[in-house]
Amino acid sequence: MKLSTREASGYFRKPNPDSAGLLIFGSDPMRVADGRTRVISALIGPQGEEEMRLTRIPAADLRKDLAMLNDAIKAQGFFPGPRVAFVEDATDTLAPTIIAGLTDWVPGDAQIIVTAGQLTAKSKLRKAFEGHKQAFAVGLYDEPPSREDIEEALRLAGLKNIDRESMEALTNLSRDLQPGDFRQTVDKIGLFKYQDDTPLTVEDVAACAPQSSEADLDDVLHIVAEARTSDIAPILRKLYAQGVNPVGLCIGATRHFRRLHVAASDPGGAAQGVGRLRPPVFGPRRDKIVRQASHWGRNRLEKALTLLTDTDLQLRSAALTPQQALVERALIRLSMMARR
């Protein structure tokens, strides 16, 4: 059965103990690992690994010994309680072995938890879990945590007395940080407020937040394409603090706008054009690119590519103009172009 991203959050907190297994896949390893950690912890409890009720099977080891998974599923543990056979970083090459384990699974066997990278809709592994009556599959995409996810993280950290401004600060922080980093930050805040019953303040959140939160190159490109001009300078500061150079930023912007141009130029429309992109784009990122390509149109995207090409030539020349200023000016001009 297929779980949506929204349904997955609730399932990770309270998984079905009678299920045959769960496949978690996605392009972001940290999101996949965070989901896997939560669901395994919910299934076997905090003492499960110490009681040897969790069997970890790296994909590389399973390729060498295909019987490992079936042995882990059928093995009887010394300690009572549910068991998990966890296959890490699986690919479609292991689909026959994992499918055989699902087929032979009976109630009382260890539950099969599998993690994988990005899988297409045609993936044999994905189809096996989505089509199984007692198993689940969920794809995790680059979406910020929901309100329920944030509240769950706060509850686990023991934080209760939170006002509106502090919750807003935490929500903004959750959009800047990777899921694992955000949970670590919330845990840090929980320790900071240990045995402190006073309300959590914005200053408390700022004191525990990373000094330079990670920003992704895609973030600034979507900001530019969506005409959010005022957000460009703050995220550029983060990118430069992380070591991103102006030339690399310009190349990334050119690549993004070329993809938009390919989508917008398709005779069947932007949605059909995005479907032809290679590598393929999935989930919320696909929706963003369809929306941006439709908004910009082919003619404006050609002007945007001309501007980026000129900027790239200037960056590679011996001009004395500061490179960061050149790129920032180009991105601002692009975002203003998107408003017309």
| Tens digit of each residue's pLDDT (9 = 90 or more) over 131-160 | 999 999 999 876 677 787 788 888 888 888
Q: Please list, residue by residue across 239-263, b when 16 or more beta carbons sit within 10 angstroms of its beta carbon and e when fewer do.
A: bbeeebebeebbebbbebbebbbbb
Q: Say whether both 16 and 113 belong to one domain.
A: yes
Q: Is the pLDDT of residue 211 over 60?
A: no
Give the burial class of 59: count Cβ atoms within 10 A of its Cβ; 0-12 exposed, 13-18 middle, 19 or more buried: middle
Euclidean distance between CA atoms 201 and 211, whole angstroms = 17
Percent of the chain clearing pLDDT 70 (strictly above): 94
pLDDT, average across residues 16-42: 90
User: 């056979």: which residue's tokens?
Assistant: 85
pLDDT per position as a tens digit, 287-310: 888 888 888 888 889 999 999 999
The answer to whether residues 165 and 227 belong to one domain is no
Count of structural domains, the chain: 3
What is residue 283's predicted lDDT score, i.e. its pLDDT? Answer: 65
Task: Let me know whether 117 and 158 are in one domain.
Answer: no
The closest of 73, 90, 70, 91 to 82, measured between CA atoms, is 73
Q: What percent of the chain has pLDDT over 90?
A: 32
Shared domain for 59 and 176, answered yes or no, is no
- Do both 247 and 195 map to the same domain? no
Average pLDDT over residues 200-229: 77
Read off the amino acid at residue 25: F
Co-location of 221 and 325 in the same domain:
yes
The predicted pLDDT at position 88 comes to 94
Domain limits for position 117: 2-140
pLDDT tens digits, 261-291: 988 898 888 888 888 777 666 667 778 888 8
Residues 155 and 265 occupy one common structural domain:
no
- What pLDDT, on the 0 to 100 scale, is given for residue 280? 67
Domain end (from 91, 117, 140): 140
DSSP state letters, 21-35? EEEEEES-HHHHHHH
pLDDT per position as a tens digit, 93-115: 999 999 999 999 999 999 999 99
Question: At 140, phi and psi to the nearest 5?
Answer: -105, 125
Classify residue 176 by its DSSP letter.
H
Residues 9 and 123 in one domain: yes
Counting DSSP H helices and E strands in the chain, the numbers are 16, 6
User: Rounded to an integer, what distance in angstroms lies between the CA atom of residue 290 and that of residue 269?
Assistant: 9
Residue 86 has pLDDT above 80, yes or no: yes
Residue written as token pair 């966890």: 86
Structure tokens at 72: 């882990």
DSSP 89: E
Whether the per-residue pLDDT at 214 is higher than 50: the answer is: no
Contacts (Cβ under 8 Å, ≥6 apart) of 180: 30, 33, 34
- Give the residue, 90 or 209, on which the prediction is more confident: 90
Residue 142: predicted pLDDT:
67
152-185: burial string, b at 16+ Cβ within 10 Å, e else: bbbeebebeebeeebbebbeebbebbbbebbbeb
Claim to verify: residue 27 and residue 129 sit in the same structural domain: yes
Residues 203 and 286 in one domain: no
In the structure encoding, which two tokens stand for residue 225, read together?
A: 């394409």
Do 236 and 175 belong together in one domain? no
d(CA 70, CA 119): 23
Tell me the three state secondary structure of residue 105.
Answer: coil
Final residue belonging to a domain, choices 84, 119, 140: 140
Burial grade of 197 (CB within 10 A; 0-12, 13-18, 19 or more)? exposed
What's 239's domain CATH number?
1.20.272.10
Read off the CATH number of the domain in which 59 is found: 3.40.50.300
Q: Looking at 158, 186, 208, which one is the last position of a domain?
A: 208
Nearest C-alpha neighbor of 101 from the set 138, 64, 75? 75
pLDDT of residue 59: 93
Query: Could you tell me how far CA 270 lies from the centroid of its own chain?
Result: 24
pLDDT surpassing 50 at residue 213: no
Alpha-carbon distance of 326 to 72, in angstroms, equals 58
Q: Are residues 112 and 58 in the same domain?
A: yes
Mean pLDDT across 55-65: 94
